[in-house]
Amino acid sequence: MSEYSKPLPAVQPWSRPFWEGTRENRLLIQECKACGAKIFYPRKACPECWSAELGWSEACGRGKVYTFTVTLTGVEEKFAGDLPYVLAMIDLDEGIRMMGNVVECDPGDVEIGMEVEVVFERVTDEITLPKWRPFRG
């Protein structure tokens, strides 16, 4: 696992539960107990009301492609082996939007509005990245 040379997320203390969640194949969304806001990305205080009373709920793991690009060249050396890869913004059913990769399909098949589901890619002992593949049901 120490082979992974691509950048790892710069985790903050308050986002640790998110990354503990992905390690257990669960996609967690931060929520504000004071105002009910669903928060992405996770914060130390609610960006709506500044409450520090924050909790977590599990997302269903489904969403739609909001936009995407098939990356073909011009990447850092550490990503070169992945080319071509799909970088995408995913609208989760819960109403938040996340950046990710669409995997397990031909990059040419990806389109805006496409239904996707989360898959978890364990890259180190600490970090598991949430990725997205075409919805299989």
CB of 57 to another protein, least distance (A): 18
Binding track, positions 8-47, relative to another protein; x by CB under 8 A: xxxxx--x------------------------xx------
85 touching another protein, by CB under 8 A: yes
Inter-residue contact 60 to 53 (CB < 8 Å): no
58, two tokens: 């599990």
Radius of gyration of the chain (CA): 16
- Of 87, 80, 122, which Cα lies nearest the Cα of 102? 87
CB of 28 to another protein, least distance (A): 14
132, two tokens: 């997205």
Residue ranges in contact with another protein by CB under 8 A: 6-12, 15, 40-41, 66-77, 79, 82, 85, 87-89, 97-101, 112, 129
